[in-house]
Structure formats: structure tokens, C-alpha cells
Structure 1
């Protein structure tokens, strides 16, 4: 099958021919006919498999059948959770629509809003937006969604989680009941499917890969190491194994900045991006990384959904994410479009519960290894691979002897476990977005 067999407009086919697209991916083969038929769709596929083209191409085709828009009107809306993803989706939609008489606009926070307001005055066929910027524009009456024809939630699991759901409901209240709704993501859980049931009417469920899985060609490595030696090990891996480029995920802005400084001191060309960086700085760092001018990029999860870099071979979890779903999206930054790659996770003893929860989520046990010279002290996270260096447990400390004639020495009271949490470990329950990451900047 080719794209020419799917019934798309000749103008769309011309654009995708120029982009070098030939054979549609499985998600595109399944989604495009359903969307052309104006069905609601709940679509799931691994990252890097062409979901954007899967919903954008048929959406643009359908918009051509009734080319008309009024002032400040929006005909199709694509919502994304992060600025980076909005910019990426916008660039793809622009390239698909280059030969069409349709107006496409991408809006997100962190930049001046006045140009967005001016661009919306004449009406827009396709608007790509983050929820925060869209609500700002709605509040200023810069646009109307009353005649919206198509709504797309990209990375729908994050768009519908407890951090975004309030904004989504506010936006939904401005939409007409008669519309086509499309939800796409790499991960879906039962909670998300229940919420999706409120938004879609008799949807077609399309899952071309097993739910919540990573690409087969991505080699996943779990390396055991003490928490305080993670940075040292990371620097050694990059240099010993001669990684050309690496995308490193850190949990917070503070850790990302500190790690970037330390890696730069080790002689590695490194920059960090996160929510406190200006959009200009973020865009510049991403562009340098895409061009191969930057060897290491450290990011919070602001980059996990929306960073599309050809032939990126190494992704590193400096810390395991608190949400197993975010692991799927982090790993999905490598192995794009069927290519290979490595996803390396540096796991300390305190993250044992998170590792177990992650493996339960993806339905497989990940191989564990120890790097020579960096074997963790104390009890290992779990048994290492055969042939790897065994991890020695330290000798147990003897209890303090009771003073002569006095009362036996009392051990300090044990800390109570927080609900859903092991003492000394991060919670593994799914948390609201505000607790999962510190990049509430959209």
C-alpha cells in the first residue's frame, strides 16, 4: 500500500511526495480511512511511528471539502501538552498543507501574544495550541471555537490527566457538540479510556502495537549505581562508549541545571532546557542539538513529548520518572521511524520500587547490569546479569551495647510509610501533573 491508495487529495500527495513519504505506517494505514470517514478515533501507537501524519493528513483533506472561515473562527484545533510538541506538530502540519489554500497557526506560551491575536483576526483553518495559551486567547476574545469542525488531543494521556483536565473541560465548554474528535497517544490506561468516553461518540479504537510498549529496536539498559555516583558514571559512559549525542532526562529544573554544569566541567558540550528557560533559549539549544552542534542535552520532561531528532542513538534516564507512562515517551525519543537506539536508565537502590512498577507497566523484565568501577555499595537493587561483577553487601552493624546498670539502648522510632510509598523511596502512584514535573509553563 502507498499513500496514493488512501484517497487523499492530490495536493496532499504532492506535499508528502516532496517529503519523501512513500509507504504509510500501520497507524497511518488504520487511522487515515477512519478519519476520512469522519469517525471519532482513539488511536494508540508507539512514539516515532507517524501519528501526526496519521491524523493531520485526513484532517486537512476533510477541511478542503468546505473551505470557508469567518473572522476569528477556528475550524480545526490540535491541543498539545508542551510548547516543543506544539512547535513540532505545527511544523509538520505546515509542510503537509504547503500546497493547500488553508491557514495554519501555532500558538504557545512564553512568547508575546499580540502576533497571535493579529493572526487570528482573519480566521484560521488549523490551530495548534497549548491549553494555557489557548485559554488566554479565549479570555481576550481573540478567537471563537463555536464552529469548530475537528478537535485533536495529541499525547492524549497527558492532556487528560488530573493536571490538565480542568483546562480541557473549560475548553470543551466552548466547543460545538457536533464535531469530530480524535485522541492520539503512545500510552493509554483505563482511566484515560474512561475520560475519553466522555469526549468521543462511538469512537473507532485503533491500537497497532501492544499498549504501553517501547520500540523493539531500542535496547533498554538498567545500570545499577549509587545515587551519588550517577553523574560520574554518566560522564564515563559517554566518553568510554564514544556516544556522539545523548539526551539526558532529569526530574527537576535544579537537577538539570546542576548536571549540565557538571558534564560541561567534564569536557562535554552540554546545555539544559526546562520550564524556567526562555522559549528563545530552549529553541536555540534544541536547534543546536538537532544539527549535531551540541553533544549532550539535559532536559526535564518538557522535552519527552515533542523532541523529534533523526538518528538520536542514546537517551538516558538520570532518574527514573515517577510516572511509568513518561518512561515510554522518554525512550521514544530514540529509535524513531524504525531505527535502533539505546535507552539507558541509571538506577539506585532507592528507586527499586519505581523500577518494579515500570516493569509491571510495560510487561517485561529489563536486563540489569553493573559497570566495572561503579558497582553500588550496600544491597543491590536486584540480582545482576550472569557474568557481571557481584555486588557485596556491607557488614551489618552491631547493636549498641546497653550502658552498665542502665536501660537498654533504644532504637529510634521507625518512620511511618506515606500512603502508596516505601520509606526513602519516591511514590510510584500516578500523581497529578503538578507533582509529576516542575514545568507548568504552557
Structure 2
């Protein structure tokens, strides 16, 4: 699926393409059509799944026809409530990025900083306002914010908002907006308190759930790195030096790959061993015991060899090569985060493995957060490298006239 399939208008498609995204994430695929139909939505999704764009894009599209301000100035038509100033600033940055080719204006207001500059911007008029609850109510009281024209109200990170004691403020803000508005509620989890809030302020909402399926333990955090195939070993070394610590199980697709990586890590001074199908049972058991007893802290394995091995205290799993079967991914990362321990699964994805990651995410019902700050990023538009076999330059079955004449016939 592409953003075009979601019926996003051209100015927004251009801005999305400039940002380097070519495919909508799971939450975007499910939320955007419902929001464009002006339905109320309650959605649960983790941070890092493209949640902000799932409401920013449809809001910008719905406001696009009203973007040119009348003589009396712009009215606030979309209001996004955020529990923290950091998140509010981040949401505003996203709106600015996607509104690049429109005349729609957004601003952010939050407490703990001078109120005057915020008042100046509000006086000039904005279409979209991102705010923390306290500062918003303060400015409304002073008549600098008019909520009478709100068409869409978004409550982001609702569970955190309630944990921080903002429930009364949120209800007050909701009452200040017109009854006819569309309300969108986003939350990482939907506990009973959030459910109650949703029931009291949403009108026949559409429920969208993009939290991990039960097959993934909640104690496993997943991280995805996009990297060119030729730089995977360098990225792996970079992560081992700076990020991944403790006992680590690394998966590779082939026995050759396991051996190659093992040699590289040994050369770089790491304590490492490996298990794969070409090793006999006693060698495998020895490698496993060395790993379990801490003589080596890195074990490299193929999926076949890793079946049935039981390692309880594993800090991290690294998918050096991504599996083409989603169940294999679940099986691999399920080796960490056991028995109440916290574990992390790192996946290195090259251009030719993008389809695998798509299938995995659909299967486990979660968008794996992407870490793009690393030394070997993959160009988002990179296509898989196809190695074509070079054939003969002569067409098959065609002979020159000369060779036909010379040929002696047996008959």
C-alpha cells in the first residue's frame, strides 16, 4: 500500500515523499481513512509507529479547502492536546513538515516559558494549535484562544495524560469545543480509565488496535535499523561497541554467513562461538555451554541449529539476516525477555528484506520502531540489488551464413 492508495492529496504526498517515506505504517493505514470520513477514533499504538502522521495528514487534508484566511484572520480549527512540552514540540514539527506545500499554519503553546511570544503568534492566527492542557486553559481564560471553531480535537498519549492528573483539564477543554467536532484519542495502552474517558467524550468511535499481538512478550523491546547489505557487518560492530551489551544471540540465515561473522568478530577481539547444521552435536553443546557459563558472551546461530536450545538469561537477540517467515521472527526474539527479564531485539534490514519486515509487522500487529541515527543509513528509496547473469551476446540458435555453408552434412 502507498500513501496514494489512502487518497492523500498531492501537496501532502509531496511533503511525505520529501521526508523519505514511501509506504504508510500499520497505524497510518488503519487511521487515515477513518479520520478522513470524519469518524471519531480511539487508537492504541506504541510511540515510534508513525502515530503523529496518522492524524496530522488527514487533519491537514480536511482543512486544506479552508486554508486561505478570511479578512478576519485564521481560526483555530484543529486542536491537539499533549501531556508534555517535548511531545507537543515534536507534534508541531511534524505538522510543519507535512504542511510544507500548503498555506496551513500551526503553532505550539506550553507552560514553563514566556507567554508573550505565544500570544503574538496566536493574534496573527493559526489553523492548528498544539498545546499542553494548563497553558491552553490559561490562554483561553485570557481570551487569546477561541475554541468555538474547532472541527477536530486530538488527545495524544491519553494514558500518560491521565497518569499526570490532567483528566479534569481534558474534560474542561472538550466541553469548550463545539459538540459537532470530531474527536480522536491516541494511547499506548487502553486501561479502564482511558476507556471511561473515551466513552464519555467520543461518539460511536472506531476502535483501532496496533499494539503487539500476544505472541510477543511485553518485556521485549524491538528496534529496526535500515542498512545497505554491504554495511551490515560494520553496523553490527558499531552496535556491539556502543549499544548492545550482555549476552547476545545473533541469527544468520546461512552456515557460511555464521562462519564469516564469527571470524570477523573474533578478529575484532570479541568472545564468540557459533552453532549451525555442519557442526556435530557435541561441538554444538560445547559452544552452548561456553555461552551459558559466560566464557563467551556472543553466540551466532542459524534457525535450524537454534531450535530447542534453552537460554534463560539473554539480554539481546540480533537478527543479522531477517527471516522470510514471520513465525521464525517471533520464535527468535522470544528467546529474550523471559522469566520477567527485560530483553531487546535488534533487526538489521537491507533493501531486499523490506518485504520480510512488512510481513512480520502485519503478523505481529505492531510497527517496529525505527532507529535511523547510525553511521550506515539506507537510502529510503534504495531498491534491492539484482544480480543478473550475463549471457552470450549472440542470440541462441542463430548461425552465420558462412558457418552453415562450411558445415559438412552426414547425409
Does 2:171 match 1:145?
no
Provide the residue aligned with 1:217 in structure 2: 222
**Structure 1 residues 5 and 81, CA gap change in structure 2 (3 angstroms):** same
Match of 1:10 in 2: 10
Structure 2: how far apart are the matches of 1:14 and 1:214? 38
Is the 2:105–2:127 contact (alpha carbons within 8 Å) kept by the matching residues of 1? yes
* Aligned counterparts of 1:365 and 1:163: Cα–Cα separation in 2: 33
| Aligned-pair CA distance for 1:123 | 2.1
Which has the larger Rg? 2
What value does the CA root-mean-square deviation take over the aligned residues? 2.9
Q: What residue in structure 2 maps to residue 171 of structure 1? A: 173
Q: Equivalent residue of 1:151, what SS?
A: strand
* Structure 1 residue corresponding to 2:199, chosen from 180, 197, 202: 197
1:235-284 Cα distance to aligned partner (Å, 9 max, x none): xxxxxx743599xxxxxxxxxxxxxxxxxxxxxxxxxxxxxxxxxxxxxx
Equivalent residue in structure 1 for 2:138, among 136, 139, 143 = 136
What is the aligned partner in structure 2 of residue 32 from structure 1?
A: 32
Contact in 2 for aligned 1:45/1:51 (Cα 8 Å): yes
Deviations 1:326-351 (A, max 9, x none): xxxxxxxxx9xxx9xxxxxxxxxxxx
The alpha carbon displacement at 1:87 in A equals 0.7
Going from structure 1 to structure 2, the CA distance change for 1:99 and 1:368 (only over 3 Å counts) comes to closer
* Match in the other structure for 1:207: 209
- TM-score where L is the length of structure 2: 0.53
Would you say the 8 A contact 2:95–2:106 is kept in 1? Answer: yes
Displacement after TM superposition at 1:41 (Å): 0.4
TM superposition shift of 1:160: 3.5
2: CA distance between counterparts of 1:165 and 1:364? 35
Q: C-alpha deviations, 1:199-242, integer Å up to 9, x for none?
A: 110100000234794766259xxxxxxxxxxxxxxxxxxxxx74
Indicate whether 1:109 and 2:83 are aligned.
no
Q: Secondary structure at the match of 1:124?
A: coil
Return the alpha-carbon distance in structure 1 between the equivalents of residues 339 and 194 of structure 2.
25
Higher normalized helix content (fraction of residues): 2
Residue matched to 2:340: 366
CA change 1:8–1:161 in 2 (3 A) is same
Separation of aligned partners in 2, 1:162 and 1:36: 31
Give the match's secondary structure for 1:74: coil
Distance 2:80 2:244 in 1: 31
Contact 2:219 2:341 in 1 (8 A): no
Alpha carbons 2:74, 2:127 under 8 Å: kept? no
Name 2:94's counterpart in structure 1. Answer: 92
Give per-residue Cα distances to partners, 1:140-176, cap 9 Å, x unaligned. Answer: 1111001111100110112234710111122122111
Give the structure 2 partner of residue 360 of structure 1: none
Name the counterpart of 2:128.
Answer: 126
Shift of 1:73: 3.1
Q: Give the Cα separation in 1 of the matches to 2:46 and 2:220.
A: 7
Distance in 1 (alpha carbons) for counterparts of 2:185 and 2:213: 15
**In structure 2, how many angstroms separate the alpha carbons of the residues matched to 1:8 and 1:61?**
7
TM-score between the two structures when normalised by the length of structure 1: 0.49
* Equivalent residue, structure 2, for 1:303: none
Tell me which residue corresponds to 2:375: none
Which range is displaced more, 120-129 or 89-98? 120-129
**Deviation (angstroms), 1:65:** 2.8
Give the drift of 1:28.
Answer: 0.4
